[in-house]
Amino acid sequence: MWTETRLQDLLERQRRFFQTGKTLDTDWRLEQLRRLKQGVLSHRQAIENALREDLGRAPMEAYFCDVGSVVMEINEALKGLRRWARPETRFSGLTCFPSTVTKVYKMPYGVSLIISPFNFPFYLSLAVLAAAIAGGNTAVIKASAKSAHCTEVLKRLIADSFPEDYVALVDGGHDVADRLLELRFDKIFYTGSPKVGVHVMEKAARHLTPVTLELGGENGNWAIVRKDADLRDAARKIVFFKLLNSGQICINVNQVAVAREVAEPFLEAVKAELQRQIGPDPLHNPEYPCLITQAAWDRCAAEAEQYRDRIVAGGVGERESRRYAPTVIYPVGREEPIVRHELFAPLLPVVPFPDGEIDGLLQTISQRERGLALYLFTRDLNWAKKVMTTQQYGGGCVNEVCLHMMVKGAPFGGVGHSGMGAYHGEWGFREFTHPSTVLYGKTRFNLSLREHPYSGKGAAVKRKLLGLFER
């Protein structure tokens, strides 16, 4: 049982370990990243089994989302860490003369807290841990109680790979998470819902602890299908993504806005793709994932029932197995409740709009809370570029879904209600380090321009020289 006393002791032990300075050595960090990678690979079968138990994931999906993706993240850190951690040298400028050299050191925060969710329990714990290790921090991971089998495997993986004074996994429910948030960590990284994100920030504010938030977005993520889009291609990709993890993905398509002129053929293409990708009976297809809890299933089923008369595909479920069929709802108005919150389920509301009124749709989207992702399907790339460079959202794709988060060297993160901060690769390293600027002064040839007196015979000369230096 993780009592307040036990958690405080863990924090103090990790702080003492950090203060030894061992984590500052880049070679040592690289070795810990290799240990993490080996831990993931050696526990691969257990990871896949746990994901099957908790989320009904097929081995292929488990590897793609939670094993291979973590290894890819670690490999990027192994390849780039020496370059990322190298101090930067800056010319101090004439204003600082004769001190001409300034260094920017990338310093770890110290003891970090990583709070991870149930939907990608390994990736969203261990990819963040890789960034924390690369940055030179120690880490306490609070794993989700909902994905209990995955948390148990994570606990073994971490214990087999690292001493608890360096990296530790804490299990338990919300009460344990709240006990952790009462403690003074040096950095907090939270992945989850906006509502809990607010709670995390409130707790962190008491200690002025820097926080990174990766949130799903209060209003969900839009996909927009214009009348000039390749409808079969758009349907294929949207259906793939909605099937993945049964819709329980923070960057998933929450709702599709489709040009009214092509709504019917688009719906037919979606139905055809559902049949091709998951078959006529998804509830008994072993490759189709389930919802995380029966409570999540109940919420999904209840929301679908409210739109029963507009369900054009799916609309059936099996509570015992926690599977609910991918369900397409059409037509849905852009102001209806189902498109005003994140679904986190295999429900797909389809909102028709006149293609000529696309600006009005974009205005509606922009007036709501910021989404974590935005997806556009169109052949008009000039229009797509304009939208992507004027809307506010976390990240996104044109004529594709989700792959923007897999691009090496590119940041992933949200804005506003979809989060703050960014990670992946070097961006994760930056998120777990503070850039400390240090100027190296000289003891000779120092100018007295900055010193008193500011009046008298030399004042005019000082002012002129300062004006020249500060150009």
CB–CB of 260/424 below 8 Å?
Answer: no
Please provide residue 63's backbone torsions phi and psi, each rounded to the nearest 5 degrees: -70, -45
Q: What is the largest CA-CA distance in the chain?
A: 92
Amino acid identity, position 29: R
- Cβ burial of 316 (10 Å; 0-12, 13-18, 19+) is middle
Q: For residues 138 and 223, what is the distance between their CA atoms, to the nearest angstrom?
A: 39
150 in active site: no
With CA atoms as reference, report the closest residue to 115 among 128, 104, 106: 128
Q: For residues 430 and 414, what is the distance between their CA atoms, to the nearest angstrom?
A: 16
Q: Which residue has the tokens 């990240």?
A: 395
Amino acid identity, position 457: K
290 in active site: no
Q: Which residue has the tokens 């770890």?
A: 108
Tokens in use for 393? 């959202």
Q: How many CB atoms lie within 10 A of CB 360?
A: 12
Give 5's contacts (C-beta < 8 A, 6+ positions apart): none
Catalytic residue among 65, 96, 150, 250: 250
DSSP states of 115-149: E--SSSTTHHHHHHHHHHHHTT-EEEEE--SSSHH
Catalytic residue among 48, 73, 214, 342: 214
Q: How many CB atoms lie within 10 A of CB 36?
A: 25
Q: Which residue has the tokens 């679904």?
A: 343
Question: Which stretch of DSSP H or E encloses residue 138?
Answer: strand 138-142
Q: For residues 369 and 359, what is the distance between their CA atoms, to the nearest angstrom?
A: 18
> Catalytic amino acids?
214, 250
